[in-house]
């Protein structure tokens, strides 16, 4: 299959079967087909879109999905962009990907998206079509005249854009094979059976959300997902659908659970399987939900490469990873302790970063993708993740993996959570700072130093242990940049 529409609809479906649900309603295969046909007709008024980059800033999941399928069917390239982007990030991404066509709502959460995009197009000096929707999904067209914008070649289906860790936009190229790999991970990792209904709480209109929507649609699995992070609306949506399997990040699950309990509702008791992803599963989370009646598992996906591993057992018992079929792995640059960078190989190659062959060659060598994850093989022959290569601390010629120290300290009964970072040191290059969230008010640093001294090598013992009440968060994850800044300022 060379497009998503054929991948889904070149098989027999009950067209009346509901396959997608959001706050806006329930949608059947027939509804999706009708939405695709509506947008195919709209694109026909705009001319041939083959090879054109089409940006979608469309919070409505139904219209977002219909548009993406229509674009794929007509051999265009979908560029999903978050409606939460604001002026600088939005302009930066638009400059980078230079879309031929942009679909956008007028405003989102008070920010004037259309106005910003229209100003960008006016200064871009390239031919650009903007389709704006105020609220009724009727599209108003604005055409900016300019020089011809080059077309894409090859089998590109999606360009996923991020602002990048340095603030410079980065694009990743995807095709149908990538989404098929995501689908395989969903079916195996979640043990999908007939009549399953999945509830996904994650950004719905990005690459990740689109991959889940298309994969579950192809496998005939009903997907329920929220179009926003308004918890009263999310709980209402969840209560209206008997979803057996719930997929989200640990922090979003905890937030939803706490909000439900504040309303006097045990909204999550109907779940038979909870799958968490996207961020570290902490000791605090596992303790909090030690009695949660459903199985808790996890899966590991790489933005560039798709789903690669999942946990077969309940992660409250162990956090050992199992590879998906047709994924090979090995460790690069093994240390004396048996720790190395995990690299993966698949039957479907990584297509690369958009217009950045230099970045592609850094992570994709001889058919192997260098993940940046550090791991080892445990006594049971299973993969154990220990940290990220970019977080490694180099102290006095020794390489220190923060995750090892965090794992040791989090086994202390009076410690809830630990984050270890490195900051500059004038003699040793870097020093080790451990931020500790404690659950015993009279816990002293010296007790933790002595605890470490009995369990890890001397050079790995934190140079400083600092207690912290709450960790700074960004996009649902601990903000290590803010912690490094905090540690440096306190020197």
Q: Are residues 299 and 420 in the same domain?
A: no
Of 150, 126, 136, 122, nearest to 52 (Cα)? 150
Of 351, 272, 264, nearest to 306 (Cα)? 351
What pLDDT, on the 0 to 100 scale, is given for residue 1?
A: 60
Q: 335 in a domain, yes or no?
A: no
Q: 331 in a domain, yes or no?
A: no
CB-CB contact of 54 with 75 (8 Å): no
Q: 339 in a domain, yes or no?
A: no
What pLDDT, on the 0 to 100 scale, is given for residue 163?
A: 60
CB-CB contact of 225 with 204 (8 Å): yes
Phi, psi of 187 (to 5 degrees): -65, -40
* CATH code: domain of residue 43: 3.40.50.12780
Q: 194 in a domain, yes or no?
A: yes
460 CA to centre of own chain: 31
Q: Are residues 441 and 301 in the same domain?
A: no
Structure-token pair, residue 327? 């994924």
What pLDDT, on the 0 to 100 scale, is given for residue 189?
A: 85
What pLDDT, on the 0 to 100 scale, is given for residue 136?
A: 67
Contacts of 286 (CB under 8 A, 6+ apart): 315, 316
Q: 341 in a domain, yes or no?
A: no
> Which residues, listed in sequence order, are joined to residue 402 by a DSSP beta bridge?
none
Q: 71 in a domain, yes or no?
A: yes
Q: Are residues 70 and 162 in the same domain?
A: yes
Structure-token pair, residue 186? 């969903």
Q: Are residues 3 and 125 in the same domain?
A: yes
Q: Which domain range does residue 451 map to?
A: 392-489
What pLDDT, on the 0 to 100 scale, is given for residue 192?
A: 86
* CATH code: domain of residue 416: 3.30.300.30
Q: Are residues 287 and 397 in the same domain?
A: no
What pLDDT, on the 0 to 100 scale, is given for residue 320?
A: 86
Cα–Cα dist 356/358, whole Å? 5
Q: Are residues 248 and 102 in the same domain?
A: yes
Q: Are residues 293 and 411 in the same domain?
A: no
What total of structural domains would you count in the chain?
Answer: 2
The whole model's pTM is what? 0.86
CB-CB contact of 23 with 64 (8 Å): no
Going by the DSSP 8-state scheme, the letter that residue 458 receives in this structure is G
Q: 15 in a domain, yes or no?
A: yes
Mind listing the pLDDT tens digit for each residue in 103-112?
A: 999 999 899 9
The beta strand positions in 393-428, using DSSP E, are 393-395, 398-400, 415-425
Largest CA distance in the chain: 72
> Which residues, listed in sequence order, are joined to residue 132 by a DSSP beta bridge?
104, 140
Q: Are residues 319 and 397 in the same domain?
A: no
Q: 366 in a domain, yes or no?
A: no
Q: Are residues 284 and 404 in the same domain?
A: no
What pLDDT, on the 0 to 100 scale, is given for residue 122?
A: 94
For the chain, which residues score pLDDT lower than 50? 165
Q: Are residues 316 and 413 in the same domain?
A: no
Last residue within a domain, chosen from 325, 346, 378: 325
Q: Are residues 303 and 448 in the same domain?
A: no
Last residue within a domain, chosen from 277, 300, 325: 325
Q: Are residues 399 and 267 in the same domain?
A: no
DSSP 13-49: --TTSEEEEETTEEEEHHHHHHHHHHHHHHHHTT---
Last residue within a domain, chosen from 325, 345, 376: 325
């Amino acid at each position: 299959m060379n497009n998503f529409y054929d991948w889904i609809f070149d098989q027999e479906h009950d067209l009346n079967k509901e396959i997608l649900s959001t706050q806006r309603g329930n949608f059947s295969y027939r509804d999706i087909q009708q939405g695709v046909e509506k947008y195919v007709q709209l694109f026909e008024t705009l001319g041939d879109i083959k090879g054109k980059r089409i940006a979608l800033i469309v919070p409505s999941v139904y219209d977002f999905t219909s548009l993406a399928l229509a674009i794929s069917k007509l051999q265009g390239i979908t560029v999903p962009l978050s409606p939460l982007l604001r002026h600088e990030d939005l302009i930066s991404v638009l400059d980078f990907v230079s879309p031929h066509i942009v679909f956008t709502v007028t405003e989102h959460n008070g920010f004037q998206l259309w106005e910003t995009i229209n100003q960008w197009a006016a200064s871009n000096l390239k031919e650009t079509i903007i389709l704006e929707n105020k609220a009724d999904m009727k599209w108003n067209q604005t055409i900016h005249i300019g020089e011809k914008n080059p077309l894409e070649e090859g089998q590109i289906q999606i360009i996923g854009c991020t602002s990048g860790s340095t603030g410079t936009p980065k694009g990743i190229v995807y095709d149908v094979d990538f989404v098929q790999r995501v689908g395989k991970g969903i079916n195996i990792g979640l043990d999908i059976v007939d009549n399953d209904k999945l509830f996904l709480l994650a950004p719905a209109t990005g690459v990740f959300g689109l991959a889940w929507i298309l994969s579950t649609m192809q496998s005939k699995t009903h997907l329920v997902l929220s179009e926003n992070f308004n918890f009263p609306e999310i709980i209402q949506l969840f209560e209206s659908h008997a979803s057996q399997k719930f997929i989200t990040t640990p922090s979003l699950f905890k937030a939803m659970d706490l909000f439900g309990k504040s309303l006097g509702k045990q909204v999550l008791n109907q779940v038979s399987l909870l799958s968490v992803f996207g961020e570290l599963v902490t000791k605090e989370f596992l303790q909090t939900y030690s009695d949660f009646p459903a199985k808790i598992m996890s899966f590991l996906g790489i933005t560039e490469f798709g789903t690669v591993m999942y946990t077969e057992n309940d992660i409250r018992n162990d956090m050992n990873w199992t590879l998906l079929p047709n994924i090979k792995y090995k460790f690069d640059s093994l240390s004396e302790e048996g720790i190395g960078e995990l690299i993966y190989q698949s039957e479907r190659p990584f297509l690369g970063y958009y217009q950045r062959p230099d970045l592609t060659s850094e992570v994709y060598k001889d058919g192997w993708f260098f993940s940046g994850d550090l791991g080892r093989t445990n006594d049971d022959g299973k993969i154990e993740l220990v940290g990220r290569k970019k977080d490694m601390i180099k102290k006095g010629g020794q390489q220190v993996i923060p995750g090892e120290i965090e794992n040791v300290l989090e086994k202390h009964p009076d410690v809830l959570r630990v984050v270890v970072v490195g900051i500059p040191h004038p003699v040793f290059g870097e020093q080790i700072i451990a931020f500790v969230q404690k659950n015993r008010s009279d816990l002293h640093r010296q007790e933790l130093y002595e605890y470490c001294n009995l369990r890890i090598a001397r050079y790995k013992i934190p140079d400083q242990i600092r207690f912290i009440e709450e960790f700074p968060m960004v996009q649902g994850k601990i903000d290590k940049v803010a912690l490094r800044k905090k540690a440096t300022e306190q020197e």
